[in-house]
Amino acid sequence: MPVAPTLERPLPQNLDAERSILGAILLDNHALNAAIENLKAEDFFLEQHRRVFNQMIALGESQQAIDLVTLTESLHRVGELESSGGAPYLAALADGMPRVSNIEHYARIVREKAAAAQPDSRHPQHSAARSRR
Amino acid occupying residue 93 = L
pTM of this prediction? 0.79
Side chain identity at residue 113, one-letter code: K
- 18, 90 in Cβ contact below 8 A? no
Closest of 96, 89, 97, 49 to residue 72, by C-alpha: 89
The string of pLDDT tens digits covering residues 90-117 is: 999 988 767 888 899 999 999 999 999 8
- Report the CATH number of the 15-132 domain: 1.10.860.10
Q: What is the largest CA-CA distance in the chain?
A: 63
* Per-block mean pLDDT, blocks of 10 residues, the chain (133 long): 54 89 95 95 96 98 97 98 96 83 92 85 42 40
What is residue 20's three-state secondary structure? helix
CA distance 132 to 30: 34
Cβ–Cβ under 8 Å, residues 55 and 48: no
Domain ranges of the chain: 15-132
Rounded to whole angstroms, the Cα distance separating 53 from 64 reads 14
Report pLDDT for 124.
44
Residues 6+ apart with CB under 8 A from 6: 125
Neighbours of 67 (CB within 10 A): 15
Q: What is the mean pLDDT of the chain?
A: 85
